[in-house]
Amino acid sequence: MSTHTEIETLVHRMFRVLDTRPFTPGLMRAYVTADARMETPLGVSTGEAAVRNSEVALGRYVRTQHIASGILTEVDGDRATASWNALMTHVHADESVFMVGGRWEGDLRRTEDGWRFGRLAVQAVWTQGQPPVGV
């Protein structure tokens, strides 16, 4: 399998697990390094806090669907960068929908367990509907 395909598969698997309900605690650990930095519209966190914050953010919704497209990678030995477009649909408990069209980017490292994100950043390009209260 080529490096590009390995990273692309990591992105798709990560997005698929974000939509899994109920969450298994630590669901993001298989996709990020122990010192990973997450940059989202809700703030910046690192390490274990980044894993927990991902679970809390997505746990606000009864269902989600994350779709990645146009994954671009650049590889330099055991380091790489990736960026992609995303359509993120979030369903509130009252069945109303909050949608986000955005762009993700990440820095990756090759580990003993394969490629993992050392940094992930998501930027909203557009939104439709109401975000969760307090966001």
Report the domain count for the chain.
Answer: 1
Structural domain includes residue 96:
yes
Range of the domain at 37: 3-128
For position 62, what pLDDT does the model report?
95
> Is the residue at 114 inside a domain?
yes
- Which residues, 6 or more positions from 22, have their beta carbon under 8 angstroms from its beta carbon? none
| Domain-embedded: residue 134 | no
Confirm whether 133 is domain-assigned: no
Q: In this structure, is residue 13 part of a structural domain? A: yes
* 24-126-74 Cα angle (round to 5): 70
Whether 20 is covered by a domain: the verdict is: yes
What pLDDT score was predicted for residue 112? 96
CATH code, 107: 3.10.450.50
135, part of any domain: no
What's the predicted TM-score (pTM) here?
0.93
Average pLDDT per run of 10 along the chain, which is 135 residues long? 95 95 86 96 92 89 97 98 98 97 98 97 97 76
The confidence score (pLDDT) of residue 26 equals 87
pLDDT of residue 113: 94
Q: What is the structure's pLDDT at 135?
A: 64
Q: Cβ contacts of residue 6 below 8 Å, gap of 6+?
A: 114, 115
Q: What pLDDT, on the 0 to 100 scale, is given for residue 27?
A: 85
